[in-house]
Amino acid sequence: MRAFLLNISFFTRLPVAKLAPYTDERYRESVKYFPFVGLIIGALSGLPLYVSNHFISLPPAYTAVLSILLYLLISGGIHLDGFADSLDGLLSGRTGERVFEIMKDSRMGAFGTIGLCLYFMVFYTFVQNMSFAAFLMMPYIGKLAATAVAGFSKYPQGKTGMGKIFLDVNTPIKSVLQLLLGSVIAYFAASISALLALWLVVLSAFLSRRWHYRMIGGLSGDSIGFIVESSQLVYLVAYQIIYRLVV
């Protein structure tokens, strides 16, 4: 339980840090709960959709904005930093060590800024009219995709960081088991549309992995953040398209 609480304290702003003091061993144990923290984020940030679907009908634009604000408040936007930093580095036109340095720079550049603007445009557009159950899956599937990729990845040679522990703990068998469990959860929570969207997300995540490997020789902590957030966007778009085709 403390390992689960530690993961919650790492990847949300929920006040549980005092209940699970950090140790390296506890953090390693907590990694397996990473996708399930996404369910908590999805449930809390999706409350406007739940209220609109079941109690008081709100304009879709209102529910989208409220869900975005709650997502940022609850998650702290922790992976958005990695998303923006990765775009700055990967699109810089540089290679190798210089790309890694740009990604580690605390300052945000033009590509990161543009990427975040496009991120919220897609978020706002595709969350509208989405069911609570479908939205609930978004942060879960984003983190699940990062977990799936992590089992088949390594940290850039000669580098260190918290992301290295995440990659070391996840193994191919653990990633596959998480994916199988995630497929069951997606199907029963949000229908066949969420399941099909999940597998498109996983494909996109491995394409992102290939991009990072080509540029920096592995995945860093920023790379993991990029995969989480880009996977969430792919899920939002894919789910809406598949849902309309299926229905």
Q: What pLDDT shows up at residue 173?
A: 96
Measured between alpha carbons, how far is 231 from 38 in angstroms, rounded to an integer? 12
Would you say 167 and 155 are in contact if contact means Cβ atoms under 8 Å apart? yes
Least confident of 106-110, 192-196, 240-244: 106-110
What global pTM score does this model have? 0.94
Q: Please, are residues 19 and 5 in contact by the beta-carbon 8 Å criterion?
A: yes
CB crowding 42-76: b at 16 or more within 10 Å, else e: bbbbbebbbebbeeeeeebeebbbbbbebbeebbe
Which region among 44-48, 157-161, 184-188, 195-199 has the lowest average model confidence (pLDDT)? 157-161
**Mean pLDDT of all residues in 223-242:** 96
To the nearest whole percent, how much of the chain has pLDDT over 70?
A: 100
Report the pLDDT value the prediction gives residue 47, as an integer from 0 to 100: 96
User: Measured in whole angstroms, how far is the alpha carbon of residue 173 from the centre of its chain?
Assistant: 21
Kindly indicate the confidence band of residue 105, based on its pLDDT and cuts at 50, 70 and 90.
confident
Write down the pLDDT at residue 182. 96
Dihedral of alpha carbons 107, 24, 140, 49, sign: negative
Nearest-5° Cα angle at 44, 42 to 46: 60
